[in-house]
């Protein structure tokens, strides 16, 4: 089975409280982004000892055995001891450490593919339960549709938001920002306007009402993030923002026939297309 794990964007991201378990409570909207990896999952050939994962494309730190796709298999194997070995191949295109959820998507799509290939007959709720054990935002990619995400980013509420067909530019300047560093400058607080209310207004108002708490936290150390955002607004974006804890910055261009082709440094990774 060949699948294409897609990235995500955050529309607004508020760190609202510190939880007793050490995690932070969030309020954000997840939006699927069609910048994809490719993941193939097959039954292992006869005689193969164990589940294997081949990695190609962009380099992924660490050994293949520690990859979330392998951990997804091991999670299922613990509950289904007769689960056959699998042969997986991940071709990585979505940048790592960009705030786009690429690794989480790979894990969730691996769960879905393994369940289908080996006919485990798992419900959506069961798949989301496994995904939550792999990472805070992994469960989003099981249903993979726009939603309001709360708590650790793994409690979902439906939201009436349809941006399909909207031209979009995503710019990744090659900065890897650790989660610890991103949270270091955050002071949790509730937003003055709820995200659901703000996103219910025309996109022309979002620039003033929808924000990502990590932008102010990271701005002193990474002025390039504000520079990219300013360039997207100068090119006509109705809304631009950091995604997740960065370092990818995106711009939305509703009403345009296509996303503008802007000049960026050669070491940046850029995605242009429609949501």
Which of 8, 92, 106, 213 does the annotation list as catalytic?
Answer: 8
* 22 annotated to bind ligand: no
* 101 annotated to bind ligand: yes
Which of 37, 106, 137, 213 does the annotation list as catalytic?
Answer: 137
* 148 annotated to bind ligand: no
* 146 annotated to bind ligand: no
* 200 annotated to bind ligand: no
Sign of dihedral through CA atoms 69, 72, 142, 25? Answer: negative
How much is the CA Rg of the chain, to the nearest whole Å? 19
Query: Using CA atoms, how far apart are residues 232 and 128, in angstroms rounded to an integer?
Result: 35
* 102 annotated to bind ligand: yes
* 72 annotated to bind ligand: no
Query: Using CA atoms, how far apart are residues 261 and 223, in angstroms rounded to an integer?
Result: 22
Query: Using CA atoms, how far apart are residues 176 and 99, in angstroms rounded to an integer?
Result: 9
The answer to whether 137 is a known catalytic residue is yes
* 129 annotated to bind ligand: no
Count CB neighbours of 24 within 10 A: 18
Query: Using CA atoms, how far apart are residues 215 and 170, in angstroms rounded to an integer?
Result: 16
Q: Are strands 6-18 and 24-36 parallel, antiparallel or unpaired?
A: antiparallel
The answer to whether 162 is a known catalytic residue is no
> Is the separation of the CB atoms in 241 and 10 below 8 Å?
yes
* 115 annotated to bind ligand: no
* 236 annotated to bind ligand: no
Residues at the annotated binding site? 95-105
Residues at the annotated binding site for ATP? 95-105
Active site residues: 8, 137
């Amino acid at each position: 089975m060949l699948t294409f794990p897609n990235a995500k964007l955050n529309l607004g991201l508020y760190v609202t409280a510190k939880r007793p378990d050490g995690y932070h409570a969030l309020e954000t909207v997840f939006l699927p982004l069609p910048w994809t990896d490719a993941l193939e999952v097959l039954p292992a050939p006869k005689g193969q000892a164990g589940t294997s994962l081949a990695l190609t494309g962009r380099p992924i730190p660490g050994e293949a055995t520690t990859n979330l796709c392998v951990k997804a298999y091991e999670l299922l194997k613990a509950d289904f001891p007769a689960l056959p070995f699998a042969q997986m191949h991940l071709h990585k295109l979505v940048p790592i450490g960009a705030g786009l959820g690429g690794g989480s998507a790979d894990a969730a799509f691996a769960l879905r593919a393994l369940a289908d290939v080996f006919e485990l007959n798992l419900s959506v709720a069961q798949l989301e339960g496994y995904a939550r054990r792999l990472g805070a935002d992994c469960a989003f990619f099981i249903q993979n549709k726009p939603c309001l995400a709360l708590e650790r980013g793994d409690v979902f509420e439906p939201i009436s938001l349809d941006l399909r067909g909207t031209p979009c530019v995503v710019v990744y300047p090659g900065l890897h920002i650790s989660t610890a560093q991103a949270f270091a400058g955050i002071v949790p607080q509730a937003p003055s306007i709820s995200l659901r209310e703000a996103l219910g207004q025309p996109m022309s108002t979002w620039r003033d009402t929808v924000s990502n708490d990590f932008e102010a936290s990271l701005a002193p150390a990474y002025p390039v993030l504000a520079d990219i955002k300013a360039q997207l607004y100068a090119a006509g974006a109705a809304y631009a923002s950091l995604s997740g804890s960065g370092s990818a910055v995106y711009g939305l261009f509703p009403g345009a026939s296509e996303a503008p082709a802007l000049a960026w440094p050669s070491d940046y990774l850029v995605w242009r297309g429609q949501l």
